[in-house]
Amino acid sequence: MMMKIQHIILSGVSVLLFSVISGCSNYLDVVPDNDIETIETTFEKREGAYSWFKTCYSMITMDISDIMTCPAYWGTDEVVADDYIRLNNPTVMPGIMIADGLQMAQSPYGNVWKSTKFYGGIRYCNLFLDHIDGVYNMQQKEKDLWKAEIQALKAQYYFELMRRYGPIILVPENIDAAASIEVMQQPRRPIDEVVKAIVDLCDLAIPKLPYYREQEQNHYAYFSKEGAAALKAMALLYAASPLFNGNKMMADMKNKQGERLFPEYDRNKWKTAAEAADEALKIAEEGGKELVQGSTVWPTSMLNTIRNIQQSCLDYDYANKEALLCVRHQRFTPPVFYHFRVPEEDQDYYDQFRIGGFGASMKMVEMFYTEHGLPLSEDKQWVASRYEKSRENDERYRNVVPLNEEVLSLHLRREPRFYADIAAHGTYWYKKTVGGGNEPLYCNCLQG
């Protein structure tokens, strides 16, 4: 009945509309061709290509730089968390769960093996590399630069997957979305193939990438020549390490095609890794990179060495002389977990709202060397017993530890890196105050 009524209505008005339709042949083109966006139309102009370029990076920055999301911050034995952190933040800080041995196969913490994460990023990189040459309002030099930056980025996606999962699926080119399940289900590739894919991409990118100092400001967070060379060296170092090189625990691991995924031990891989590291250092030096050193802001040589070490781990507006690749943090509130909590009357030094909750593990405290550059257990000239108290009277340590007062021996005569990184009971934390001066703050870390 309804279909018949509709037919009658349309028939009745068809005579009235005929002259209008015939006078405007495009009347029925409700959606003009120019409004249908496709991958090809996106890459017609530089603006669309640059938007796609940034999307390629968007799927990796959070998982490698965000202090909450990246398991590397909390999933190792470098720091331990208190009960407040454990009870209130485990779902948004997956590293804590991993460190506690609660990782699982069904719904893993820090999972990036999926289409919305790193494999999605690889797909976007492939599409970019396939289409960037078709952009009509770009110079070839700029196309080559962007292509090299994305090649290095794709290598990083592979590297980040490899360091988490070992043998991974390589995607030299995208699989058609309409392909069969059999084609979609690609096998993992042997570690040596994965490393070669990373190295090959870096080798393609390095010659066309600028040194960091030559980058345009809006490309500081993208790969430079130094960054790509360092990535290549890191991949080859992983390949040489016992983690992948002759790993006996994984000797029987094979893909669905029966190929062995972990190789026999090959000592020559260490030589290859060393050569890549030398090349990366050479490129960094040619680019003007150097160690942070020469500070004279603080009053003693020891304090200035400590300051150099602290400054080497920090960056303000991509200005760190040592950094080879910088990625801006995606959030800025989580450092409240990093710094120890202080009472309100000390707010001139630290925000009283800081939560605290993380501290260095005793394992890490004991791993720092002595003043002689030796592990604690190997330095026969160090203190007799690390868990007894003793006194420091050497002027070199003024404002580092209290002189001529009893301090736990574990905290005395340690290397400068110890004092740069550990706020230990009975030591000083030499910090710049809100007023601009510098002051040694005594660390009282006893309960209560």
pLDDT in tens, 222-252: 999 999 999 999 999 999 999 999 999 999 9
Please give the single-letter amino acid code of residue 324.
Answer: L
Work out the mean pLDDT of the chain and round it to a whole number: 86
pTM of this prediction? 0.85
Length of the chain equals 448
Q: Which residues of the chain have pLDDT under 50?
A: 1-32
pLDDT value of residue 111:
92
Domain limits, the chain: 39-100+110-175+186-286, 324-442
pLDDT value of residue 345:
64
Query: Does the CA dihedral 128-129-133-138 come out positive or negative?
Result: positive
pLDDT value of residue 23:
45
pLDDT value of residue 430:
82
pLDDT value of residue 53:
96
- Fold annotation for 39-100+110-175+186-286: 1.25.40
pLDDT value of residue 6:
35
pLDDT value of residue 2:
41
pLDDT value of residue 114:
87
Residue 432's beta-bridge partner residues?
438
pLDDT in tens, 150-164: 999 999 999 999 999
Measure CA 150 to chain center. 16
pLDDT value of residue 67:
76
